[in-house]
Amino acid sequence: MIQIIPAIDLIEGRCVRLSQGDYGSRKIYDGDPADLAARYADCGVGRIHLVDLDGAKAGSPRNLRTLERIALRVDVELEWGGGLSSSEALLQAFDAGATQAIIGSVAAREPDLFRTWLRTFGGSRVLLGADVRDGRIAVKGWLEDTLLGIEDMVECFLPDGLQECICTDIGRDGMLSGPSFALYPPLQERFPDVSFTVSGGISSMDDIRRLDGMGLRKVIAGKALYEHRITLKEIESWSLNASSPASM
C-alpha cells in the first residue's frame, strides 16, 4: 500500500499552506507544529514531511528550532527541506532532528555538491526534491524556473546512489484539484529503483486510492488534511492496513 506522509509547511514557526507556490497566497493555520506532528504520529504514520518556507526563500534554514521541538515530540522519520544550500546547513538539519534532507536547488544548480552529499550520507538520507512547473524544474522556493526536466535530473544522479525523489507538481500544489495522475506512473516505470513521492493537489482519499492502484509508493497530503477533506481517522485506518501482514 502507498505510504501517506502528512505535510507541515512552516513560516516563522507557524503552520501555513501556499497555493501554487505563491508566498502571497499563504494561509496560516492555528495550532503548534509540534502538536500537529504529534497528532499525525499518533495516527501511525511513519514519516512527516516538513518544509521551511522561510529557509527556501532565504537560502538557509530559518525554522530549525521548530524542527528540534518536533523531533523531541515524535518518534517517526522527519524529512526536512528548505534552505539546505550548504554542507553546514545540511548538518544543522540533521543535528536538529531531520532523518532525511530534501535537496532541490543544490541538485539543480550544484550537481557535484549534491553528488557528494549522496555519496557521504547515502540515498536513504539525502532525497531529491524535484519541483516541476510546466515540465521544468523550479528552484529557490519555486521562485525561479530552470531549463531542466525531471527525467534528466533523476538520470543524472542514479550512479551516485539516488533512492528517493519527491516530485511536486507546483501548478496543483495547495489547489485541492487532484494530483497529476499522468506524471508519476511513467517516472516510476522508467526508474524502478527510485521511490517517487507524489506531491501536489491531493484532495481526498479517493486520490490516494487511485495512486495506490497505479503502483505509486509514497504520497504527501497537506492542505487536504488542514481543510479536513482527509481526516486523521482515515489516515490512522490506512496506516493500520498498510502495516498489517496481509498488505506486506
CA angle (99, 167, 9) in 5-degree steps: 55
Let me know: does 107 contact 140? Beta carbons within 8 Å: no
Instruction: State the Cα–Cα distance between residues 224 and 229, nearest whole angstrom.
Output: 5
Please confirm, yes or no, whether 131 is among the known catalytic residues. yes
Please confirm, yes or no, whether 9 is among the known catalytic residues. yes
Nearest-CA neighbor of 41 among 70, 4, 79, 74?
74
Beta strands per DSSP E along 40-191: 47-52, 77-81, 100-103, 126-133, 136-139, 144-145, 164-169
Beta strands per DSSP E along 110-206: 126-133, 136-139, 144-145, 164-169, 195-199
C-alpha cell at 207: 486520490
Nearest-CA neighbor of 46 among 80, 76, 78?
76
Nearest-CA neighbor of 81 among 28, 4, 2, 8?
8
Strand partners, 5: 220
Half-sphere exposure at residue 194, Cβ-oriented, CA atoms within 13 angstroms: 32
Choosing from 9, 52, 207, 212, the catalytic residue is 9
Choosing from 52, 54, 131, 207, the catalytic residue is 131
User: Which residues have a catalytic role annotated?
Assistant: 9, 131
